[in-house]
């Protein structure tokens, strides 16, 4: 049900948050636009500028590895300067209240962790761009290490010090297998929660976009907070087409009712 009026939407959202015992937030790029990180699909988003580099292309073509790292370097100031926004803060509050033990995110920006949620409680479906790893032996590398081993003009992407394999941001590229254990855990949580809240996702990226459907089918209520319509609006119990900060700024704290336990 789409509720166009902001105040009415906030009232319904607050009531659903209070009534829930197990909230599962599911976030996308839209929760981080207020933090200065562009999303993919809004006008002017990253998608309109650079078509993503497929995993297979990254592995096969050294020039595309250089290109991938050049793009990451261009974005480095943005990612490094970004701080959690009001949406992250609201979710951190639900987490602290005990009602939202885990957060599922499609984001790669590390902002839920920076908002104070323990890393093991953040399920990153698409990895994390704030560090790198070798695609062969999985050795982790700090980005500082990458920047000392990479210069776009030298035409060589960083290689693993241990095995010479290609080093890539610790993200899941298009064409790269999803992290199976995390997907399994996310699906279990989606089946178990009683309130699934999508915040800032176009729900166009699969299989991640299957999780709200799974939650709904298992009996949870579904809320979508997204500036634009999504393909799952019609199955949702509450849809707010507003900016996340406008919505969460007016949701009362603390949440009432006993936590999931």
Instruction: Give least dist CB 234 to ligand NAD, A.
Output: 16
165 scored as a contact of Zn ion (CB under 5 A): yes
161 scored as a contact of Zn ion (CB under 5 A): no
Residues numbered 180 to 209 that lie near ligand NAD (CB under 6 A) are 200-202, 204-205
Q: CB 142: neighbour CB atoms within 10 A?
A: 11
On whether the CB atoms of residues 244 and 91 are closer than 8 A, the answer is no
Q: Which is nearer to ligand NAD, 32 or 97 (CB)?
A: 32
One residue of 9, 33, 92, 160 binding ligand NAD per CB under 6 A: 33
One residue of 20, 23, 37, 160 binding Zn ion per CB under 5 A: 160
Cα(32)–Cα(41) distance, integer angstroms? 13
Instruction: Give least dist CB 68 to Zn ion, A.
Output: 17
Beginning with the edge strand found earlier in the chain, give each strand of the sheet holding 127-134 in spatial order.
140-142, 127-134, 167-171
49 scored as a contact of ligand NAD (CB under 6 A): no
45 scored as a contact of ligand NAD (CB under 6 A): yes
The single residue of 93, 126, 149, 154 carrying the catalytic annotation is 126
Cα(247)–Cα(89) distance, integer angstroms? 12
109 binds, among Zn ion, ligand NAD, none (CB under 5 to 8 A by kind): ligand NAD
Annotation marks residue 140 as catalytic: no
158 scored as a contact of ligand NAD (CB under 6 A): no
Q: Please give the structure tokens belonging to residue 256.
A: 């009432």
Prior bond to 207 cis, omega within 30?
yes
In this chain, which stretch among 159-167, 175-183, 214-222, 226-234 interacts with ligand NAD, using CB under 6 A?
Answer: 226-234
Q: Which is nearer to ligand NAD, 97 or 106 (CB)?
A: 106
One residue of 54, 96, 136, 159 binding Zn ion per CB under 5 A: 136
Instruction: Give least dist CB 259 to ligand NAD, A.
Output: 27
Question: What is the set of active-site residues?
Answer: 126
Q: Under the rule (CB under 6 A), what is the footprint of ligand NAD?
A: 28-30, 32-34, 37, 39-42, 45-46, 106-109, 126, 200-202, 204-205, 226-228, 243-244
């Amino acid at each position: 049900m789409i509720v166009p009026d902001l105040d009415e939407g906030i009232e319904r959202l607050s009531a659903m948050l209070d009534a829930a015992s197990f909230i599962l937030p599911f976030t996308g790029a839209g929760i981080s636009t207020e933090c200065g990180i562009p999303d993919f699909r809004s006008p002017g988003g990253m998608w309109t500028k650079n078509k993503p580099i497929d995993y297979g292309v990254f592995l096969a073509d050294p020039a595309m590895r250089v290109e991938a790292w050049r793009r990451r370097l261009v974005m480095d100031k943005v990612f490094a300067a970004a701080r959690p926004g009001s949406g992250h803060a609201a979710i951190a509050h639900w987490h602290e209240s005990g009602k939202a033990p885990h957060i599922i995110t499609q984001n790669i920006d590390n902002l839920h962790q920076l908002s104070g949620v323990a890393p093991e409680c953040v399920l990153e479906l698409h990895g994390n761009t704030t560090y790198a790893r070798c695609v062969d032996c999985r050795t982790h590398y700090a980005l500082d290490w990458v920047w000392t081993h990479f210069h776009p003009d030298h035409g060589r992407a960083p290689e693993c010090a241990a095995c010479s394999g290609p080093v890539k941001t610790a993200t899941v590229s298009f064409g790269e297998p999803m992290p199976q254990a995390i997907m399994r855990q996310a699906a279990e949580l989606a089946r178990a929660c009683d309130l699934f809240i999508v915040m800032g996702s176009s729900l166009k990226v699969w299989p991640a976009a299957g999780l709200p459907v799974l939650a709904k089918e298992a009996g949870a209520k579904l809320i979508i907070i997204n500036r634009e319509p999504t393909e799952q609006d019609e199955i949702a119990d509450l849809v707010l087409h507003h900016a996340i900060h406008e919505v969460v700024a007016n949701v009362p704290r603390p949440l009432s009712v006993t936590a999931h336990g």
